[in-house]
Structure 1
């Protein structure tokens, strides 16, 4: 789904703001057509978390956690395409699901995008010359989230740690190595004993190393409840310090975070 506005876009003199907005717009477009799996819903939440600089309301993560407990919840089912719904939710009306998705965007994503935009606007570098197709500050050529390489680095760690968790581990010892990735993925927003407790808990280890369908679903719940809120916390810390660059290191993002 794309915008219906056919008017030419203004020249991007503050491309970080355009890049931030386009990153959110792309995820909203995907969501409005429906996500293709329960796993993709978690990946999507990670992606929108970092593209709104951690400004999504915590209630989103709490609600999403409940969706993965036992039977598929109505919110999760609504975020998915009809073929990805299961159990009683397989009969969910598509019109109802579309309305829930729109309400989700309106009530949570839009306010988070606004807050992220306001956080970024005072630190977005203004470039005197408009960008062209060969310019490194052209938003269409910019590969960094909000023109901040540190956010992209954080996202790569988040994707790596989330993928490893959802795939599952072969043995208990692998959790210790995963803990290093998770520390980077959360920008250090883990309790001191967090990995140690997971490693010691036999029931958690059984789920994280299991290969049954029930174990896979339990890992998705683990990700929604334990990991994604910590991703949010890490993004909020990092985004207050990440510097803008068009590829050459230019930037003026020196203000501390405002939370």
Structure 2
């Protein structure tokens, strides 16, 4: 599993140097493969490329970073350490380098230590190189030989192929998709807050327990009942302080449990085809544009 790396912002600037090239998006197109023999790996690799690209592009808000962190948990099959996401979200200096909206960037850090947009992107590139890409590689290794191989040699006149663009489940594992959707529901509703304690105790926490396969802190429901300040920040409040607290609470209390659940499900979920097998004699372009 990838180790969490502590980054020194000054060190990143020294490594880059004054003659670093201007930040830009990659213009290199990925290899296009027709009828991949292991479409589950193609599906996973596609999701991982999108994950890396969105990280490098930066985010509009801390909420977006949190939502991305959950997507990263899924796309890496839980191979980033649980504390990795917490560190990114709770470090104000790192957060300022993840955001691309000027007002948001300046909210988290003093002007004299705020990285320029170019330096911030270089920092994101360093983190992707040292942490994110290796975690994606570890994830692919976990499923590489369990991925089902599909060949077109059964009927040369009517070849069968799997349309990767129709595969919605991560690594073509419906169990992972179901778990990820349930976790996403929990995170989104937690960020938005609730109308009453009944919503939390009767619905939200039980769904979260299911979404984490029981990895969630067992005292969480009791905490909402007994700690009035905690529940007040989740109920009938939408001010900046409440939103910041909910983001932090989800990052520290929920993301690690969800990460563990995704890692375990990835090892146990079976592969299945979304939309069924398709026969077609026309050329297939992957990925589609």
Q: TM-score, normalised on structure 1?
A: 0.85
CA distance in 2: counterparts of 1:61 and 1:7, whole angstroms? 30
Contact 1:57–1:108 at 8 Å: present in 2 too? no
Contact 1:136–1:142, Cα closer than 8 Å, also in 2: no
Alignment partner of 1:231 is 2:255: no
Tell me, what secondary structure is at the counterpart of 1:143? coil
Larger of the two Rg values belongs to structure: 2
- State how far apart, in whole Å, the 2-side matches of 1:156 and 1:235 are: 11
Query: Which residue of the partner structure matches residue 141 of structure 1?
Result: 166
Contact 2:150 2:161 in 1 (8 A): no
1:19 to 21, 43, 49: 43
| Shift in alpha-carbon separation, 1:27–1:116, aligned structure 2, 3 A | same
Q: What corresponds to 2:100 in structure 1?
A: 81
Q: Kindly indicate whether the alpha-carbon contact (under 8 Å) linking 2:62 and 2:89 is maintained by their aligned counterparts in 1.
A: no
Partner of 1:203: 229
TM-superposed CA distance for 1:142, in Å, is 1.2
Q: Distance in 1 between matches of 2:184 and 2:110?
A: 28
Greater Cα shift, 134-143 or 229-238: 134-143
Between the aligned partners of 2:166 and 2:27, the Cα distance in structure 1 is 20
User: 2:30, 2:251 → 1: CA distance?
Assistant: 38
- The verdict on how the C-alpha distance between 1:242 and 1:63 changes in structure 2, with shifts beyond 3 A counting, is same
Displacement of 1:61: 2.6
Residue 64 (1) aligns with residue 88 (2): yes
RMSD (CA atoms): 2.3
SS of equivalent residue, structure 2 residue 166: coil
Distance change in 2, residues 1:45/1:6 (3 Å): closer
Residues in 2 aligned to 1:93 and 1:128: alpha-carbon distance in whole angstroms:
50
Structure 2 gaps, min length 5: 1-24, 154-158, 278-289
Q: Counterparts of 1:16 and 1:8 in 2: how far apart (Å)? A: 15
Q: CA deviation at 1:213?
A: 1.2
- Cα distance in 2, alignment partners of residues 109 and 249 from structure 1: 32
Moved more, 121-130 or 212-221: 121-130
Task: Give the TM-score taking structure 2 as reference length.
Answer: 0.77
Which is further off, 159-168 or 206-215? 206-215
Task: Write out the 4+ residue segments of structure 1 that deviate beyond 6 Å after TM superposition.
Answer: none
Match of 1:187 among 193, 209, 213: 213
